[in-house]
């Protein structure tokens, strides 16, 4: 059994009503339910949190040290602005997969840079809610090949 921390960043609590043409119609609860279903088949236990605050996200990352095997994170807009979240991920040295619902490289140019990607195993974007499933599968693959 592997233990994974799933973090949803700012504004993801508004999924399903916020810009559905960009983020889809699934709610955060829908995504979490789908993650819980797939995690069982991957033999992964999830701890899932959504936070709008940068500091709260960092606190969850720090708390994962020694208790979790990996991190699946959608840092939202903090992807492009937070050196602090990047440093927290680097500091705990957990295999991390960064996910995004939209294809950030087809959007505004400021979204093309990720502070998280250099400290992550990989990044998945553009597949809507399925980005999370792909990210969890990628993390499971990473665990098993180590």
Instruction: Look up 3 and say whether it is catalytic.
Output: no
Catalytic hit among 23, 78, 115, 132: 23
Instruction: Look up 141 and say whether it is catalytic.
Output: no
Catalytic hit among 60, 100, 115, 132: 100
Classify residue 64 by burial, with Cβ atoms within 10 Å: 0-12, 13-18, 19+.
buried
Question: CB-based contacts of 130: which residues, under 8 Å, 6+ apart?
Answer: none
Tokens (6 digits) for 16: 């399903």
| Length of the chain, in residues | 146
Tokens (6 digits) for 141: 């693959």
Look up residue 43 and give its DSSP letter: T
How far apart CA 15 and CA 18 sit, in angstroms, is 5
Give me the active site residues, please. Answer: 23, 100
């Amino acid at each position: 059994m592997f233990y994974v921390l799933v973090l949803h960043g700012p504004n993801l609590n508004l999924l399903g009503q916020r810009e559905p043409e960009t983020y889809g119609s699934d709610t955060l609860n829908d995504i979490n339910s789908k993650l819980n279903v797939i995690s069982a088949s991957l033999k992964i236990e999830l701890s899932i949190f959504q936070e709008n605050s940068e500091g709260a996200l960092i606190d969850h990352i720090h708390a994962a040290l020694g208790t979790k095997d990996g991190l699946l994170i959608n840092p939202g807009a903090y992807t492009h602005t937070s050196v602090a979240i990047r440093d927290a991920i680097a500091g705990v040295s957990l295999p991390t997969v960064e996910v995004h619902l939209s294809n950030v490289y087809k959007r505004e140019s400021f979204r093309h840079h990720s502070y998280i990607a250099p400290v992550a195993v990989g990044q998945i974007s553009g597949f809507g809610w399925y980005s999370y499933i792909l990210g969890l599968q990628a993390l499971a693959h990473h665990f098993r090949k180590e």
